[in-house]
Amino acid sequence: MDALDAKYPFFASAREAVASAAVSLPELVATDAPAVDRARERVERALLEGTVASESGAFPGESAYDAQAELLSYPIARILVSLLDSDPAIEKYAAAEAATAVERVRRDLETDDELRSVSTATVGLDDLLAEFDLADAVRPDATAPAGARGAGAAAGGGAGRDPDSYRIDVGPYLRLTSPEWGDSWRLVNRALADGAVRVSREELLAALEAAVEARVAEGLPFELGADEEIAAALESRVADLRRLLSERTYAEPPDVIDRDLFPPCMTNLIHKAENDTELSAAESFALMAFLVGIGMTPDEVVAFCADTSLDAEGIRYQTEFLTDDRGTQYPPPTCETLANYGICHNEGDHMQVAPDPLSYYEKRVAAADDVTDWRADRETDGTGAA
């Protein structure tokens, strides 16, 4: 097992390394080996944050886990996702594995060629194309004039060649890209010549990300069959993930934003962020899910959290993720889950009042004589959106 397998565990060579390794997954699970905890982290971060990178650091040398635990965490994560048995969870997991992989590829490509030749833990574009049987379908575009990249660029020569321009055969192009990514991806808007489409390097990476995503999603969820023991041993981890992604839905958010009526758990998180303290992944997810749950748009959440440690890009990513249109909106975690994460301290035993922060807030809004809406205040002081 080498560092490259750990970094790209969906590669065929990584699969072979796992198959030929003298380790048994049931045994790893039964002994709660580090790979199991890393697998839980992999799935949890995929579902909550769209990445599978370890929180303990970024590749290379990123993780507190060794290469073996990293690599073996991948098949165990696939088991966890299979046990979750939720299509949206599978989609998000595969998308997160792909996004993380392409992020690593990007970093590898930035590595100086000379360094790459002595480092076995980086991949080049050729390696990646070969991995997905695209070596013959993609080539540098000898006809691309400098500056002419991807969409809309006319075919033809010019002074100098654009080193970041490629041609991909139309079949793989159609298989790996989607017109839903935007008009520029439609074939009619592309420079097409000799059965190949011009793409920039970034566009090629987007197509490769789709290839990784398809490979990761392939075969998920699988039946555990003879591995029922593994399922039993992973039961509590699966239950935690399910709880975290409680699939209850809410008919109507209260549609009023009064900070004074927020539950203590959310107020504490906001104070923490306002004091410039970084929130953990679970804390940030809980807060974002609550704010989205009470009807705030991503723009409003960004404005609401403007003077906190939360950065606008991260907020936007997480809130858009929470409100996407694929039927995967996640309501805020329950009080019980938040207590397990140390976010709820059950002040005044008010866990008795409602099962989750959103219900608690709804009750407080319904009972309040006077409500001050943050949106109205914003418009009055001229900070609201036009």
Residues that bind ligand SF4 (CB under 6 A): 263-265, 335, 338, 344, 346, 350-351, 357, 360
Q: Closer to ligand SF4 at the Cβ: 15 or 350?
A: 350
Residue closer to ligand SF4 by CB (options 148, 344) is: 344
* Shortest Cβ 356–ligand SF4 spacing (Å): 6
Q: Looking at beta carbons only, is 189 or 340 nearer to ligand SF4?
A: 340
Tell me, rounded to whole angstroms, the distance of Cα 163 from its chain centroid: 30
| CB-nearer residue toward ligand SF4: 175 or 350 | 350
Neighbours of 223 (CB within 10 A): 7
Query: Longest Cα pair distance anywhere in the chain, in angstroms?
Result: 74
Token duo for residue 375: 């949106």
Which DSSP letter does residue 145 get? B
In the complex, minimum distance from the CB of residue 286 to ligand SF4, in angstroms, rounded to a whole number? 8
Question: What is the nearest approach in angstroms of ligand SF4 to the Cβ of residue 277?
Answer: 18
Closest among 28, 15, 37, 358 to 219, alpha carbons compared: 15
33 vs 286, which CB is nearer to ligand SF4? 286
Q: How far is the CB of 70 from ligand SF4 (least distance, A)?
A: 34
- Identify whether the C-beta of residue 230 lies closer than 8 Å to the C-beta of residue 340: no
Pairing between β-strand 196-200 and β-strand 192-193 as defined by DSSP bridges: antiparallel
Minimum Å gap between C-beta 269 and ligand SF4 is 10
Nearer to ligand SF4, 263 or 298 (CB): 263
Q: Please, which residue, 331 or 357, has the CB nearer to ligand SF4? A: 357
Q: What's the token pair of residue 136?
A: 């013959």
Q: Cβ 350 to ligand SF4, closest distance in Å?
A: 5
Q: Which positions ≥6 away from 53 have C-beta within 8 Å?
A: 45, 59, 62, 63, 100, 103
Strands 165-169 and 196-200 turn out to be antiparallel
Strand order in the sheet with 196-200: 138-140, 165-169, 196-200, 192-193
Rounded least distance, CB 316 to ligand SF4, Å = 25
Residues 6+ apart with CB under 8 A from 55: 41, 45, 281
Transcribe 287-317 into DSSP letters: HHHHHHHTT--HHHHHHHTTTSSS-HHHHHH
